[in-house]
């Protein structure tokens, strides 16, 4: 197992290298230069060129990329063009908020999706099954931004039960209940699509498992139905779902871009969307690499969980 993990970590290097090249090429080809967008429009041409030279934007693209990559290897992601702050510090300041949102959304998706997926499979073609299926399809088809707006209008504007946005009440002392109060709506919106998909995958996987011979054998031995389903069936049914769960981790980063902007949640997603509008290349590249690393680590975690759930799997 240790050798396999080390080998997978080494394989991350060319993958991340390729992603960084593609991301840099896309940003370089995008219209609008950061020095032009973030400087006083009345500034002289000479001062503008001087600023671009200072930022290294007059260098050939391959030189710009090599300079950036050389600094990244040293742990330096550069300085924000607009905020004039180290990019690493900006990400570390907002990373905890995004991780909290991702963790809460993941827990919410798992504790709701898996039980309902199992119930839907064990009661196939029942009213419960049809209800779960319809709800899952609606969750998959509903855009995050629309769902977020509707929840804000209902629970924040009309009912006044939840705050419109932010991570805490301004001017108030730290309170766990206050944080949870601000967290609940963005977590629900972020978890909805993955919750719906995970429910469908759980149902499909359990339908295959509960028709296997060893499940019929367990029932013939007189085991309780709950023990047959949740001890013998669910453990084997979760094996293909682990792949989906591993791929859910990077989707939370993509979904957080919309959710965090909608709820003014000061996390990585909102930082990314702000940097995109401001053409803040160092911030965009750093967050892109963070998302790529999270994707690879998600797949690695899925492979490790395979061996935990199924001892027959060896690496």
- Report if pTM > 0.85: no
- Compute the C-alpha angle 161/164/170, nearest 5°: 100
Buried/exposed code over 69-99 (b: 16+ C-beta within 10 A; e: otherwise): eeebeeeebbbbbbbeeebeebbeebeebbe
Provide the token pair at 271. 């930082």
Per-residue pLDDT, 153: 92
pLDDT at 315: 58
pLDDT for residue 112: 92
Specify whether domain 87-265 bears CATH 1.10.3720.10. yes
Q: What is the pLDDT of residue 225?
A: 82
pLDDT of residue 32: 65
Q: What parts of the chain have a pLDDT lower than 70?
A: 1, 32-45, 48, 246-247, 249-253, 307-315
The pLDDT assigned to 36 comes to: 58
State both tokens at 194: 């993955």
pLDDT in tens, 5-49: 788 778 888 888 888 888 888 877 777 666 555 555 666 667 767
Residue spans of the domains in the chain: they are 87-265
Q: Which residues contact 2 (CB under 8 A, 6 or more apart)?
A: none
């Amino acid at each position: 197992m240790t050798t396999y993990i080390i080998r997978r970590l080494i394989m991350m290097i060319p993958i991340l290298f390729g992603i960084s090249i593609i991301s840099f090429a896309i940003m370089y080809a995008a219209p609008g230069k950061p020095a032009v967008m973030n400087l006083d429009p009345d500034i002289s041409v000479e001062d503008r060129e001087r600023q671009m030279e200072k930022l290294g934007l007059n260098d050939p693209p391959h030189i710009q990329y090599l300079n950036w990559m050389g600094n990244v290897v040293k742990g330096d992601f550069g300085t924000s063009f607009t905020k004039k702050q180290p990019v690493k510090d900006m990400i570390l300041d907002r990373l905890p908020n995004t991780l909290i949102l991702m963790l809460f959304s993941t827990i919410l998706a798992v504790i709701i999706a898996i039980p309902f997926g199992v119930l839907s499979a064990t009661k196939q073609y029942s009213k419960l099954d049809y209800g779960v299926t319809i709800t899952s399809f609606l969750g998959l088809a509903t855009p995050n931004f629309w769902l977020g707006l509707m929840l804000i209008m209902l629970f924040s504007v009309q009912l006044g039960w939840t705050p419109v946005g932010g991570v805490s009440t301004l001017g108030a002392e730290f309170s766990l209940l206050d944080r949870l109060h601000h967290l609940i709506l963005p977590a629900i919106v972020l978890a909805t699509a993955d919750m719906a998909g995970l429910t469908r995958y759980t149902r499909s996987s359990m339908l295959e498992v509960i028709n296997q011979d060893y499940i019929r054998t367990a029932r013939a031995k007189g085991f309780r139905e709950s023990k047959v389903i949740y001890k013998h069936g669910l453990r084997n049914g979760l094996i293909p779902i682990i792949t989906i769960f591993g791929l859910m981790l990077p989707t939370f980063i993509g979904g957080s871009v919309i959710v965090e902007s909608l709820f003014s949640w000061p996390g990585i997603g909102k930082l990314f969307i702000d940097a995109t509008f401001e053409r803040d290349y160092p911030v965009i590249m750093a967050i892109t690499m963070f998302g790529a690393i999270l994707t690879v680590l998600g797949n690695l975690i899925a492979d490790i969980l395979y061996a935990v759930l199924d001892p027959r799997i060896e690496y």
